[in-house]
Structure 1
Amino acid sequence: MSVTEPTDQSTFVPLNLKRRAGRLIADSGAPVHDVNILNVVGRGFYWQDLLDTGVYASGSDIAKVEGVTPSTVNRLVRMGLLAPDLIEELMAGKQPRRLTAHWLIRNRIPSSWGEQRALFERFR
């Protein structure tokens, strides 16, 4: 299958993308997607789903399979606590410019969505 012949299950979006320091940058002036943040959030949701569906009994089990420490699994699973509108911002590439994946992994995220929004505002 070539890019010019999409299947029924795909959508072709013509963008010129450049990778710069872990970020995908669209030449069209579109929002900047931080690939590292998206990876952290995506892995967190995936691992939480593995726990919720009973594929693995604990974060330690996931850590053994993934080759990471249990604390890494626990830190990333916390991404599931993010407010839905903040997740939408991240997915749309509209995250605060100073927010990094490293910060998200290393710091406590409040459980209150209001506190999370205030925290994100401090990074703008």
Structure 2
Amino acid sequence: MDALKDRSHRVRLSRHLNLAFLAPDLLAQITAGHQPSGFTSEWLRTHDLPTNWDAQRAFFNAL
């Protein structure tokens, strides 16, 4: 695997790993299909989620 492809995979994996640290109530909203309309795969691809759950909730409320 070339370096650029490896980096791309690492970035994508890193973004998805952030979901593992999502506040439980936000995860429940997403799995129930009640996420903010601005929370899309594109948004997730271009933004980092904060690790603090209160900060995550603020992000979601702003979307």
Report if TM-score (shorter chain) is over 0.5.
Answer: yes
Normalized per residue, the structure richer in helix is: 2
In 2, Cα distance between equivalents of 1:97 and 1:71: 23
Superposition TM-score, scaled by structure 2 size: 0.79
The alpha-carbon deviation at position 79 of structure 1 amounts to: 0.9
Normalized per residue, the structure richer in strand is: 1
Moved over 6 A (4+): none
Query: Residue in 1 aligned with 2:14?
Result: 74
Describe the superposition over 1:4-27 as per-residue Cα deviations: whole angstroms up to 9, x where unpaired: xxxxxxxxxxxxxxxxxxxxxxxx
- Structure with the bigger RCO (C-alpha within 8 Å, sep 6+) is 2
In 1, Cα distance between equivalents of 2:28 and 2:58: 16
Unaligned segments of structure 1, at least 5 residues: 1-62
Unaligned segments of structure 2, at least 5 residues: none
- What pairs up with 1:43-122 in 2 under 5 angstroms? 69-122=9-62
The root-mean-square deviation of aligned C-alpha atoms, in Å, is: 1.8
The alpha-carbon deviation at position 99 of structure 1 amounts to: 1.7
Superposition TM-score, scaled by structure 1 size: 0.43
Aligned residues: 58
In 1, Cα distance between equivalents of 2:61 and 2:42: 17
Q: Choose 1 or 2 for highest CA Rg.
A: 1
Describe the superposition over 1:36-68 as per-residue Cα deviations: whole angstroms up to 9, x where unpaired: xxxxxxxxxxxxxxxxxxxxxxxxxxx97xxx6
